Amino acid sequence: MEEKYKFLWDYKLTNEEFIRILDGRLKKGRLDRDWAAIRLLEYGSYENIVQLLGHKQIVFGWKNWREKIRSGSRRRGFDFLVQWLTEMHPERLIGE
């Protein structure tokens, strides 16, 4: 059995359901794509975030999610990542 994502500790969701919500293929009440992205950005490991969202989605979704991230250090970290990817590695924003 696959281990449940640690950032879903307080939700009765499977990893597959979370991925479907994140991809916009499933909505459960108030749990929609933005909720999933914010949840992942707030509580996920960097590895999970890049694996599930990818650099392109992080950069292009950040302006919509930024103000909803409660942790100031996470906001600053993603501000840096988005700027760094945009300025130094735009090739990572193609495809995905």
Q: Where are the domains of the chain?
A: 12-93
* Residue (of 52, 55, 51) closest to 78 by Cα position: 55
**Measured at the alpha carbon of residue 94, what is the angle toward residues 56 and 46, in degrees to the nearest 5?**
35
Residue 96 has pLDDT above 70, yes or no: no
Instruction: Centre a 10 Å sphere on the Cβ of residue 62 and count the other Cβ atoms it contains.
Output: 20
In DSSP terms, 42 is beta-bridged to: none
pLDDT in tens, 18-64: 999 999 999 999 999 999 999 999 999 999 999 999 999 999 999 99
**What pTM was estimated for this model as a whole?**
0.91
Residue 92 has pLDDT above 90, yes or no: no
Burial class (CB in 10 A: 0-12, 13-18, 19+), 58: buried
